[in-house]
Structure 1
């Protein structure tokens, strides 16, 4: 049986991963610094051609790569949040279904879908639970533009 603290911790972590998705979809990348990640976080988006590194380089990458001009609409639907608690640390695996609406140079738009897992480490801080490590794992892709290289990789 879970204690009240364990229930609270699980719900706080679940809210954290949902809030991350909200910030990404609203392109409020600077808020990741204050509310989602630890200062020393390591983030690996390389499975889909993204950055690998610390929090500041990740925020810089997101500001450059996930612009309103290129991706006017995105949605990160998180589900199957699995959390293993260990005191003030935890690990987790979160399913993400990610439709992406891409603006093309000819003015048309192209919608594609990514299926992925976030493999996370969490840490309790004075401000609450934060992600200290996040690695994306590819599950599947659908309808990606031909010029995107992660279709088979």
Structure 2
């Protein structure tokens, strides 16, 4: 593996870490730095929003107010580099706390289409592929 490939893979891993940090801290300015201005984002498999970056930020920021805490673990990062483009598929595990004692977990994959920009790698498309949920009904029970 050459130095450029290693550097790209490290930067892509950092991008995924920035994504998780932004969502868990509800830092929407930081979240925007993960994506291109014209990115398309799709969280529909988890019951979330889909659309362009600003639409998703507006809706996701409201939806995540339901949770006092979230924590994203991202692993098993598969990167297919093709010049200034990359496809990334990474697993996520996400515990979410609604209120103390009421929580659920979910898992699945993030599928990103990345492009190299003057500011580094950015996601032009994110499709969240949810695989499972555990405890969601109890977390929202009265």
TM-score range, shorter chain: over 0.9
| RMSD of Structure 2 on Structure 1 (CA) | 1.4
- Runs (4 or more) in structure 1 with deviation over 6 Å come to none
Out of 89, 92, 109, the residue aligned to residue 117 of structure 1 is 109
Displacement of 1:146 in angstroms is 5.2
Question: Who is 1:151 aligned against?
Answer: none
Unaligned residue ranges in structure 2 (runs of 5+): none
SS of the aligned residue for 1:66 comes to helix
Matched positions, count: 140
Q: 2: distance between equivalents of 1:93 and 1:77?
A: 14
Question: Who is 1:11 aligned against?
Answer: 10
- TM (norm. structure 1) is 0.87
- TM (norm. structure 2) is 0.94
Out of 18, 38, 48, the residue aligned to residue 36 of structure 2 is 38
Kindly indicate which of the two structures has a greater share of residues assigned to helix: 2
Displacement of 1:145 in angstroms is 1.9
Q: What does the per-residue CA deviation read over 1:28-57, in whole Å, with 9 as the maximum and x for residues that have no partner?
A: 012222x21001100000001111100000
